[in-house]
Structure 1
């Protein structure tokens, strides 16, 4: 479908001819990777048209700003206010909304020309919008707007989220449930604006691509459904914005509008150097955008935040809170010295590191704290979702602590908040992984020797000399299973599965994986991922006491933690004696401050999973002897529900948390 097609293209950025390393291609990760073969998408029919009963009203202000407001606001409504400009589009301006009167609202889209919010109290509200010219930081216009909110008078649906999207970028919407119950007989139609085509495979979550527009255009959609015997509707408004023509061979599909989170000497160049459809030449690492560690060898949190680029301010705020509350050992502060920037945007999925810009790109799904923040994140599927679908095995993983999941699952259908502690396991593991790539390519030990003019030039010199940490890891401690390498190309790079690949059962794959020295299936994607997986797992165990499970299982038609059966599985595989030397090498080169032998000594011994039990039943491990394994299995199977169901954790498969080092 269209949305997946675009995601595949976006995921192929690493495959441009200007790039030398894409996390894979050969086992050494040095060969350029050809873009995956893409089947042209099936054209979706336009959504049906309908007539709106509510029309937007225009409020003038005596300035170059005017506002489009809804005809009626009431408690319980998901609503919006849209800013319009006289004789110009919104591109090139920075928007900043502030609520100045009324009961406090949870505002997560304050940097957009379209302000969205949920109304929970009646009353009079006022908002002030200030706009600045991005290139000069000069104020363009400022104005205020008022709305009145009535006490709820009628039942209604709530579609989240009204928002701005650049032309030809991907969009997702989500129809909220009522009292945690699904809406029946859901339908969608379009009342006005340039025609769109919706993918309604999941009617609660329509996916589509913003149309190409000649000027900023408002798209008005209406969702309808039934609940409690009553027919309900909701209006949703999207602002599709005209942007400059794409001139970048790096970012050749539309990217979201982003901005520097702080005002600093780098504010004017950050976005243009790391996330722009106009990036033609990689920025000079010596004079324009150096690595953080080249400027600040002992980077403070403030110096790090000056390199953060976001699509929404809450992303930078939550990232800073994480560093403040969690990075007590300064691991991330040290590792972040090897990047030029941290980009967090609603349209990034999956997270990745990219050598051309020297930046890490983070999926904000790992950072939201409130339902309002989560509403702003695009739910388009990871472009790799269908890779490996013809293979007959699975390789699940999870992080655990004290025989329980280290993370908690928060269903998108339920509007629950979470804390920094809730997101720490997921975000910490992601950062350890992506920053391992940055420190593999440019460890702090080489910062003083970087010559430029671009990071890609320096990478090429290091790569040609086989000087990367991952190169040396592979040379000294190579992975040996050619079968696993071949399967990884299918699962993670989209290669076509051969008849031999398809014939392998879980027991076959277990016999390939178990005796080799990788700690995860994803390690076979490239030498780069091999090193990053070792570093990630070691640091999670040492710093947070969180251990990683990995297994080979069968692949039933309805795969879930309760139905897949373990053919081989271990907890804390990096403590295996045959793998420890590999872990030690990576730690000594990426984090020399740590004594790798101390880290290894602190690793709990490997625990074996019970073959023949489900993945869920293997959550609680006590290494049962063969004599009592059958009794343990019977006891686990009798649990209703199993711990996995209690925690409501989705099944995670190898590689689904990370993009490739690019």
Structure 2
């Protein structure tokens, strides 16, 4: 009887069964691969094909000349040293055993430096290799000798494809059929010379539809320091399932990929000395052993940002993405970007260059206080992509019929819409609002251009025993819907209304707080927006200051928790011990409409006017509830409400402060309208968040069971609500500029 092979021999045999090789890679290519990169490729190969031995994706470590990974659940080490592969532990025994040359299992592929601009030309173009139906196709133009501007791509031949990023340096599309696709790109080079280039790609047919397929979306451009996201879209034949997706960087300066969600790769664009190309490949592995891959490119644009140490810079430490005027021939097109969203703006010091109101006035000045038209608002819009301006304009025309938003927009100098702004905010230093494009997409191609880097605020307050929930409702129906990021979905303009109306009311309340209608007549054009705002701010004359003085929030525990929930401060032992009942006892008797009011007096005022306008002007009521801390995987049906109200703005004790806010900031809405707000409806404690959607209950209801198994629909709905809930977690405020030169404040800001 033959003896069974030794564990080390079994390991080698097992690994070699699926040994990977690249027919285009030579032995010289393999020898040129950095040892750490070759080891990483070997580890990923083992993890994909032999998860029973090498499960998960542990970090790579080094010791005694070995690069290795330790798989804790199996107790196995997999290591590489001087081109040899070794195993240790678990099934393989207690001694380090060699199992063969690394090149017996894989042919490691080198990662090259960015070849774009390597030849010393002033500008270069690049296109995806071997384009194919069902794969990402990207084309880019780079400024090798300096920044290029005024980019415009046009398709001149082939089956028509959408180009939602046609004014950026990189376009991306999914070819619907094989054939020739022709494009023209025009731009101004670093010397201001207008240039025009032609680019044609030949797209091959896709293989059989029965095989597994992977598509990456979308190739794009980003300025250095910007957040980058790419998404992998698998398409599997019936009966097969996804095993994993492995991401590899093929070209460009090394970046650290966050692929905890294997369908997505996140990274931060590195600092570069010129426009630089990064290429990534994602490889799909299925349960039935099928493999497919796709590649995408990210052009990192060279653009100096203002360092955090430069205290004279308006945007010190911020990453400013590329934007341009939505209306290129508008009356303010030549000054918008330089006045409100450019890293070269200096609010103090010898390079002071802040725009005066004579250059970029508040919109209300243009109208003498009358309601601006949509066209006049659009004259002030900066965008990262045309579709943002187009959808924003359609939203105003169709869903601002009573003019509330246009009246509020009188208190801003500009509106910036970008796929890289997160979260949305108002900034008194420029008098402009900055909006996250997530609220405005309609088509899957538009959504592809959105950056999916997570909001830094999402983990605040995790150590507490309670959670708070909110949503907007109309006729006992939720306003917010879930749109699966892994699906190709088109949504109607009505959903932009649902996503954007409350956000606009909130951010524009901040603008009105700093520049109320009563101040329009006293604006001085020879001063900047901030210089006009500052005297009111310094002397505590903002509406948020006055309301806080007249009707202060009095719950000290909630005020202290505001720093934990919305500023990231570490919770104390006492705060960690608070139960939902404790929080309800602190919150219910106070004057806040939402716990976000405890972050700052500014947010308190914004929450008050936002809810008033949503209810009285839109017929939409707001739910706020306190629950137990809900775990991962919870749904609205498993989260139990411990206390809550629908329409808290109608609470009699809150009405006086609501009247004060409306009178100051939205006088056209009528402060007497506050008295018409109906009393709030108490939610049914002990029932679920989902059950409490119906208010008041039509009949006695059975209490939801916290342990009930969630459905996919329930989980998805809560994700939609949690996404907007997390937008309340503000994090550190952007510092305001210093006092204007020569200003002597008698009451310094606290």
Q: Please give the range of the TM-score, normalised by the shorter of the 2 chains.
A: 0.7 to 0.9
Alpha-carbon distance change, 485 to 646 in structure 1, aligned in 2, over 3 angstroms = closer
Query: Which of 132, 135, 151 is equivalent to 1:77?
Result: 135
Alpha-carbon distance change, 419 to 139 in structure 1, aligned in 2, over 3 angstroms = farther
Per the TM alignment, residue 554 of structure 1 is displaced from its structure 2 partner at its CA by 0.6
Per the TM alignment, residue 541 of structure 1 is displaced from its structure 2 partner at its CA by 1.4
Give the secondary-structure state (helix, strand or coil) at the position aligned to 1:243. coil
Q: Answer whether contact 1:617 1:637 (CA < 8 A) is retained.
A: no
* Partner deviation per Cα, 1:596-631 (whole Å, 9 max, x = no partner): 323541x3441111111221221222257xxx75x4
Alpha-carbon distance change, 225 to 644 in structure 1, aligned in 2, over 3 angstroms = closer
Q: Answer whether contact 2:362 2:412 (CA < 8 A) is retained.
A: yes
2:703 paired residue number: 633
1:535 paired residue number: 609
Q: Answer whether contact 2:114 2:276 (CA < 8 A) is retained.
A: no
Alpha-carbon distance change, 643 to 537 in structure 1, aligned in 2, over 3 angstroms = farther
Give the secondary-structure state (helix, strand or coil) at the position aligned to 1:425. helix
Give the secondary-structure state (helix, strand or coil) at the position aligned to 1:73. coil
Superposition pairs of residues 149-548 of structure 1, within 5 angstroms: 149-153=203-207, 155-178=212-235, 183-227=242-286, 229-244=289-304, 246=306, 249-251=313-315, 252-263=317-328, 264-281=330-347, 283-297=354-368, 298=370, 299-451=372-524, 453-548=527-622
Rounded Cα–Cα distance in structure 2 between residues aligned with 1:620 and 1:84 = 55
Q: Which moved more, 1:422-431 or 1:299-308?
A: 299-308
2:109 paired residue number: 51
Per the TM alignment, residue 44 of structure 1 is displaced from its structure 2 partner at its CA by 10
Rounded Cα–Cα distance in structure 2 between residues aligned with 1:515 and 1:231 = 60
Superposition pairs of residues 553-564 of structure 1, within 5 angstroms: 553-558=627-632, 559-564=634-639
Alpha-carbon distance change, 145 to 597 in structure 1, aligned in 2, over 3 angstroms = same
* Structure 2, gaps ≥5 residues long: 1-58, 62-66, 68-105, 348-352, 735-750
Rounded Cα–Cα distance in structure 2 between residues aligned with 1:416 and 1:643 = 16
1:88 paired residue number: 145
Give the secondary-structure state (helix, strand or coil) at the position aligned to 2:667. coil
Per the TM alignment, residue 221 of structure 1 is displaced from its structure 2 partner at its CA by 1.2
Alpha-carbon distance change, 530 to 274 in structure 1, aligned in 2, over 3 angstroms = same
Asked which structure has the greater RCO (Cα within 8 Å, sep 6+), the reply is 1
Largest Rg, 1 or 2:
2
Rounded Cα–Cα distance in structure 2 between residues aligned with 1:323 and 1:44 = 52
1:39 paired residue number: none
Per the TM alignment, residue 432 of structure 1 is displaced from its structure 2 partner at its CA by 0.3
Give the secondary-structure state (helix, strand or coil) at the position aligned to 1:577. coil
* Partner deviation per Cα, 1:109-161 (whole Å, 9 max, x = no partner): 111111111112233222121113699xx661012222232331265311112
Rounded Cα–Cα distance in structure 1 between residues aligned with 2:235 and 2:376 = 44
Per the TM alignment, residue 259 of structure 1 is displaced from its structure 2 partner at its CA by 1.3
Per the TM alignment, residue 49 of structure 1 is displaced from its structure 2 partner at its CA by 11
Q: Answer whether contact 1:218 1:238 (CA < 8 A) is retained.
A: yes
Rounded Cα–Cα distance in structure 1 between residues aligned with 2:691 and 2:126 = 55
RMSD: 3.2
TM-score, with length taken from structure 1: 0.85
1:141 paired residue number: 195
Alpha-carbon distance change, 193 to 321 in structure 1, aligned in 2, over 3 angstroms = same
TM-score, with length taken from structure 2: 0.75
Rounded Cα–Cα distance in structure 2 between residues aligned with 1:355 and 1:231 = 53
Q: Answer whether contact 2:646 2:683 (CA < 8 A) is retained.
A: yes
Alpha-carbon distance change, 166 to 65 in structure 1, aligned in 2, over 3 angstroms = closer
Rounded Cα–Cα distance in structure 1 between residues aligned with 2:713 and 2:224 = 44
Give the secondary-structure state (helix, strand or coil) at the position aligned to 1:226. strand
Q: Answer whether contact 1:369 1:420 (CA < 8 A) is retained.
A: yes
Q: Answer whether contact 2:418 2:437 (CA < 8 A) is retained.
A: yes
Alpha-carbon distance change, 564 to 311 in structure 1, aligned in 2, over 3 angstroms = same
2:664 paired residue number: 589
2:4 paired residue number: none
Rounded Cα–Cα distance in structure 2 between residues aligned with 1:74 and 1:194 = 27
Rounded Cα–Cα distance in structure 2 between residues aligned with 1:484 and 1:425 = 29
Per the TM alignment, residue 456 of structure 1 is displaced from its structure 2 partner at its CA by 2.7
Rounded Cα–Cα distance in structure 2 between residues aligned with 1:179 and 1:642 = 20
Q: Answer whether contact 1:519 1:534 (CA < 8 A) is retained.
A: yes
Alpha-carbon distance change, 656 to 84 in structure 1, aligned in 2, over 3 angstroms = closer
2:649 paired residue number: 574
Alpha-carbon distance change, 635 to 209 in structure 1, aligned in 2, over 3 angstroms = closer
Alpha-carbon distance change, 607 to 134 in structure 1, aligned in 2, over 3 angstroms = farther
Per the TM alignment, residue 635 of structure 1 is displaced from its structure 2 partner at its CA by 10
Rounded Cα–Cα distance in structure 2 between residues aligned with 1:363 and 1:350 = 6
Give the secondary-structure state (helix, strand or coil) at the position aligned to 1:353. strand
Rounded Cα–Cα distance in structure 2 between residues aligned with 1:468 and 1:615 = 37
Q: Answer whether contact 1:67 1:82 (CA < 8 A) is retained.
A: yes
Q: Answer whether contact 1:284 1:290 (CA < 8 A) is retained.
A: no
Q: Which moved more, 1:453-462 or 1:372-381?
A: 453-462
Q: How many residues align?
A: 608
* Structure 1, gaps ≥5 residues long: 1-42
Q: Which moved more, 1:502-511 or 1:272-281?
A: 272-281
Q: Answer whether contact 1:50 1:190 (CA < 8 A) is retained.
A: no
Q: Which moved more, 1:608-617 or 1:592-601?
A: 592-601
Per the TM alignment, residue 100 of structure 1 is displaced from its structure 2 partner at its CA by 2.1
Alpha-carbon distance change, 497 to 314 in structure 1, aligned in 2, over 3 angstroms = same
Per the TM alignment, residue 246 of structure 1 is displaced from its structure 2 partner at its CA by 2.7
Rounded Cα–Cα distance in structure 2 between residues aligned with 1:58 and 1:655 = 40
